[in-house]
A and B are shown apart, each in its own frame.
Chain A
Amino acid sequence: MPKTVVIADDHPSFRASARAILQAEGFEVIGEAEDGASTIAAVGELAPDVVLLDVQLPDLDGFAVCRELCLNGGPPAVVLVSSRDACDYGRLIEQSGARGFIAKAELSGAALADLLG
């Protein structure tokens, strides 16, 4: 059974690209969100396995959304993405409770699968 994914990003072009490549590589994209609040709502509603979460969202930033999602203690697994490099964020990623970080340009089903184990 393929893992379900919600993509949270404010850029439609990225959401479309991510959906295409993840679905092509065996993930099932069950929802998209364009800001923090709708992300939290979508996760509550859809209960995906994975949330692909952009660090920069128009309302809440990705770390705050991540803390909110992880507070509930279980799934989904949150993977942070950004067009910036991981080193731009320092230890924020480690401390966020997210499963991992993938640079947007490096996104692929395999890379996501690697993080999920």
Chain B
Amino acid sequence: MSARLLFLAAAATLGLALVGAATLLVITSDHEDNKATTIALAVTAGISFIASGLVAVWRRPENRTGYLLAAVGYLWFFGALNESNNDWLFTAGGALGSLVFGAFIHLLLAFPGGRLARRRDLWLVLSTYALVLTGSVATLLLVEVPNPKVCPGCRSTIVVGSNDGLETVLTVIVTALSLALLATVLVIVVTRYLRSRGALRRALGPVLGAGAFAMFILALQVSIDTYSVGAAEPLEWVFLAAFATVPLAFLLGVLRSRLARSGVGDLLLALGRGTPIRDALAGALADPTLEIAYWLPERERFVSADGKPLPDQPEGRATTLVDHAGRPAAALLHDPMLTHEPELVEAVVAAAGLWLDNERLQAKLRAEVAFLEAIVNASPSLLCSVDREGRIANLNDAAWQASGYVEENDVKGQLFWDAFVGPEARTEARRRFEEAAPAHEAVSFEHTFVNQLGERLTIAWSTAPLYDEDGSVRYVVCGGLDITEREQQHRQLQASEERLRAAIDASPVAIVEYALDDTITRWNPAAERIFGWTAEQVIGGKARHQPPGREAELAELFRRVRDGEVYMGVESKRVRSDGSQVNVAIAAAPIRDSDGQVVSHMALFADITERKRHEEELLASRARIVQAGDEARRQLERNLHDGAQQRLVALSISLRLAQSKVSTDPDAAEAVLEGARTELAAALDDLRELARGIHPAVLTDRGLRAAVEALAARSPVPVEFETPDEALPRPVEAAAYYVIAEELANVIKHAGATMVNVRVACEDGRAVIAVSDDGVGGADPGDGSGLSGLADRVEALGGSLSIESPPGGGTRVTASIPL
């Protein structure tokens, strides 16, 4: 700091010395007519450049503008050498006096940063320096009296030879180049001003305006001078005035900054009135583009006032960090012009620090809310808040999608039960909601509904109240889980269990399930029916239907089933509740859980008592049929033996006797032969009768009707009969014939009847053969009447034989055979 002050003091001293020297030169000049005016204007112009330059250097040493201003001031004083009466000093003034214009253009192009931002500007500045230097030196080399109007006696000390033609050419070239340079710089300066905005424009305005005007006048002056030397003299004063305005304009800019600094007071007032801090700061810093970013230490980043991450900043924006209470609170994003006024920014920021920190906390809160919102919306669970009327105030994406509405706003404001409860349960849901008011304590419930897309959903909801400042419920938060799939699986499982249970209940087979400790856990209706115990009596207890004395054997069987063996079709006996035995076919298999572990076993018992009885009957029937066949053959042999055979034997003997007598006693022989013929006829009768007994030929040849007719014709008891028109299958026809023949024989032998009625008919796909008489009745099928043989024959065809024979009431035998 002290070094800078020393430097500034030295520079100021140099400036004062130059002022003194210049004043001296003007006063002593023999060719200056307007000494007072010249001193006043020229000295003022130089001194104001130096003074404002040094002020700028003091205030902002890092900005070269101050140095450039000062340089313009120092170089300006070279022009004073032209006032000298000494030719050497005059020549030096002529050579260096124009350098000030190079510095001036340098200053304008480098304003306000003090650096030439573009290569083009650099070239322009260098060209200007070169032009003014070479132009001046060339004139001094070629013209002995370079400024005869102002000073006819002042001569160039470096002239090499006067040449008027060459001088004219030089003047034209220098003038053209000067005008071109001035025009270019003028265009650049005006363009820069027009393109600038905001604070920059305001800062550029006075300096560039004054500078541009000065250059314009200079250009005009140069142009006019070319045609008529000295005609432009009045313009010199105008130029000087404009030139001297530049440092004033610079000081004006500084002054405006100082004025702006007084805006801190206004800022505090505006903040106190509740003006948004950004607007207040933008006003105080005179930068309407200003933005504020807030620092979130936990995220280590800046966010905007609404809590959103900050977008990338466009080029050309400047950032100023603001600390509060020792930590970063905010950053101001502003016009780069403001970096030239750090004190202003500092003062404004210090004044607004508390507000900024407050805003930072709000931004933090908003960021947290945004974070929570993101979580809520990303949640797969349905979330919505419902107001005290039951209207949906807010909901997350999952809830919105579940509602099936296209627009989220279509759901908001709807009654919860209209959006998420099926019509059948809406009234109930509304009633429950109203009953829960005002406390709205946490509850859980499930609802199935069809949403706007027609999807059927089941949601399990849980609610919780949300309180406002005075402790009353403001919203009810409803969290829902879509359990549609789970519910569907549950229903399918239930249906499948129901089917299984129905099958078990309806099964004709007794189904018994045993737990691992052998207690019964299932006992279906068929088990109740077959074994006689009800489910209540046996479930939870040990099996009671097992035959006594086989406990160890059955326990071993249970063990093997639980080890994985499967039994099928084992026939055994079990015990009924009344103590009787029942024949059963048993199947048993282990029941495993989803892990394959045996958890119980099931035994199935089919009641085969009836089947067993049928089997036994069938066996007996078969034995009887075989026996009857045997008997029939024995009878046949006996009949042959006793009948025809005996007669033929007698015949044979008679023929031998006749033979022996035919020669000795022809009469006797004839008598014997006569007897033999009778015997033969009887033998033939016997054989015919026998053959008929074996199988009636008439049945084979002529059918049932003819056969029954023959039977009736031979019967001593009158027979009425009726037969069907259609032919019956042969086995049925034969069975019918034997039933009729046997019964007729029985009637003749035992009944003492006066009339027999025989009826054969086809009814409902069965042949019905009925033989009834009006005899004594009381027939017993077991007395060897041949009825059991008939029953076997009929049953062998799948039919049945019944007999009604009340004593004194006649006998009716009916056979029914399926066709």
Contact = CB atoms under 8 A, between A and B. Distances in A.
Contact of A108 (B642, B646, B656): B656
A20 B657 contact: yes
Contacts of B650: 11, 13-14, 16-17
Interface string A79-117: 000011000000000000000000011111000000000
A21 interface: yes
B424 to A, nearest CB: 97
B511 to A, nearest CB: 64
A25 interface: yes
A44 to B, nearest CB: 27
A24 interface: yes
A14 B643 CA distance: 11
B641 interface: yes
A11 B660 contact: no
Given A11-B642, A13-B679, A83 B657 contact: no
B646 A14 contact: yes
B652 A20 contact: no
A21 B679 contact: no
A18 interface: yes
B641 A105 contact: no
Interface in A1-24: 11, 13-14, 16-18, 20-21, 24
A24 B657 contact: yes
B649 interface: yes
B654 interface: yes
Given A17-B650, A17-B653, A105-B649, A83 B660 contact: no
A18 B653 CA distance: 7
A105 B647 CA distance: 10
A108 B652 CA distance: 10
Given A13-B679, A83-B641, A21 B646 contact: no
A17 B654 contact: yes
A83 B661 contact: no
B639 interface: no
A35 to B, nearest CB: 14
Contacts of B646: 11, 13-14, 83
Contact of B649 (A25, A56, A83): A83
Given A14-B646, A20-B672, A105 B657 contact: no
Contacts of B660: 21, 24-25, 108
B651 to A, nearest CB: 8
B645 interface: yes
A25 B661 CA distance: 10
| Chain A binding surface SS class | helix
A11 B654 CA distance: 15
A9 to B, nearest CB: 9
Interface string A60-86: 000000000000000000000001100
B648 interface: yes
A21 B653 contact: yes
B661 A24 contact: yes
Contacts of A11: 642, 646, 650
Interface in B410-463: none
Contacts of B661: 24
Interface string B524-536: 0000000000000
Contacts of A107: 653, 656
Nearest to B676: A17
A60 B807 CA distance: 40
B282 to A, nearest CB: 148
Nearest to A111: B656
Interface in B672-718: 672, 679
Contacts of B653: 14, 17-18, 20-21, 104-105, 107-108
B6 to A, nearest CB: 172
Best-surrounded residue of A25, A83, A108 (most CB of chain B within 10 A): A83
Interface residue range, chain A: 10 to 19
A37 B660 CA distance: 34
A82 B642 CA distance: 11
Contacts of B647: 13
A103 B652 CA distance: 11
B652 A105 contact: yes
Interface in B131-152: none
A104 to B, nearest CB: 4
Contacts of B656: 21, 107-108
A24 B647 CA distance: 20
Contacts of A25: 660
Contacts of A24: 657, 660-661
A70 to B, nearest CB: 25
A18 B654 CA distance: 9
A101 to B, nearest CB: 14
A17 B679 CA distance: 11
A53 to B, nearest CB: 15
Interface in B627-643: 641-642
B440 to A, nearest CB: 115
A57 to B, nearest CB: 12
B645 A83 contact: yes
A83 B679 CA distance: 16
B665 to A, nearest CB: 9
A82 to B, nearest CB: 9
Nearest to A106: B652
A21 B652 CA distance: 11
Best-surrounded residue of A14, A56, A105, A107 (most CB of chain B within 10 A): A105
A84 B637 CA distance: 11
B671 to A, nearest CB: 10
A99 B567 CA distance: 71
Interface in B585-644: 641-642
Contacts of A104: 649, 652-653
A21 B642 CA distance: 21
A17 B654 CA distance: 6
Best-surrounded residue of A11, A25, A56 (most CB of chain B within 10 A): A11
A18 B657 CA distance: 9
Best-surrounded residue of B645, B648, B649 (most CB of chain A within 10 A): B649
A13 to B, nearest CB: 4
Contacts of B672: 20
A56 B646 CA distance: 12
A114 to B, nearest CB: 15
A107 B652 CA distance: 9
A67 B336 CA distance: 160
Contacts of A21: 653, 656-657, 660
Interface of B: 641-642, 645-650, 652-654, 656-657, 660-661, 672, 679
Given A18-B653, A104-B653, 20 more contacts: A11-B646, A11-B650, A13-B646, A13-B647, A13-B650, A13-B679, A14-B650, A17-B649, A20-B653, A20-B672, A21-B653, A24-B661, A56-B641, A83-B641, A83-B645, A83-B646, A104-B652, A105-B649, A107-B653, A107-B656
13 contacts: A11-B650, A13-B646, A13-B647, A14-B653, A16-B650, A18-B653, A20-B653, A20-B672, A24-B661, A56-B641, A83-B641, A104-B652, A108-B660
Nearest 3 pairs of A and B residues by beta carbon: A17-B653, A105-B652, A104-B649
